[in-house]
Chains A and B, each alone.
Chain A
Amino acid sequence: DAKTTQPNSMESNEEEPVHLPCNHSTISGTDYIHWYRQLPSQGPEYVIHGLTSNVNNRMASLAIAEDRKSSTLILHRATLRDAAVYYCILSVYNQGGKLIFGQGTELSVKP
């Protein structure tokens, strides 16, 4: 399965931007980059996904490196509610959209 590497944990201050990095050096040209997060005691929640271009939605932005070997999830203003485990996942073409979760990055947000 296609592999991603993320830091185990990160800290942020409330109302400041957060940049969550992800390395995926073995990505192939048709793999999509997905981000999900899991708040305590809840199911994973979709955040954003992209292929080559940077993407923005109401929750976050996704910046994808030109060689696609890394990406960064950007939370523009962290809130206490953003404290969660963030997963960077490669969705591999022809594998039905299944998501293989790694260990993720545990984000803590300080008031």
Chain B
Amino acid sequence: DSGVTQTPKHLITATGQRVTLRCSPRSGDLSVYWYQQSLDQGLQFLIQYYNGEERAKGNILERFSAQQFPDLHSELNLSSLELGDSALYFCASSPAGTVNTEAFFGQGTRLTVV
């Protein structure tokens, strides 16, 4: 158990809908990362937050947004869903979000868009 909790574990929704994925980082970790893993794209970095502020942005679509709350949990919002958004979404946390610290990943949320 990495200490990172993601909910829900599975989500099935229809095209055009909006969903929210939630991540609770390890206790004390200030940095949260979101990744998308699909069969054809591998693990793609989406976005990083550090202590409530956006720190780095990757290949995140405009239909997707995220935030980190004062209690350090994070949410990833996906809207106007398309079939191609079906993927595993992972959240990771690290103590300081620096190059020499390890990241701890959750078990992921499997999103299926039908």
Contact = CB atoms under 8 A, between A and B. Distances in A.
A44 B99 contact: no
A103 B42 contact: yes
B105 A43 contact: yes
A36 B43 CA distance: 12
Given A43-B2, A43-B105, A43-B107, A99 B100 contact: no
A106 to B, nearest CB: 12
Which range contains the number of B residues in contact with the other chain? 20 to 34
B90 A44 contact: yes
Contacts of B56: 95-96, 98
What does DSSP make chain A's interface, helix, strand, loop or mixed?
A: loop
A43 B108 contact: yes
User: Which of the listed residues A36, A38, A98, A99 has the most CB atoms from chain B within 10 Å of its own CB?
Assistant: A98
Contacts of B99: 30-32, 91-93, 95, 97
Interface of A: 30-32, 34, 36, 38, 42-46, 49, 51, 87, 91-93, 95-104
Contacts of B35: 101
B91 to A, nearest CB: 9
Contacts of B72: none
Contacts of A32: 99-100
Interface string B40-74: 00111100101000011010000000000000000
B98 to A, nearest CB: 5
B25 interface: no
A97 B31 CA distance: 9
A42 B31 contact: no
A34 B101 CA distance: 9
A24 B94 CA distance: 24
9 contacts: A43-B107, A95-B99, A96-B50, A96-B56, A97-B94, A97-B96, A97-B97, A101-B35, A102-B42
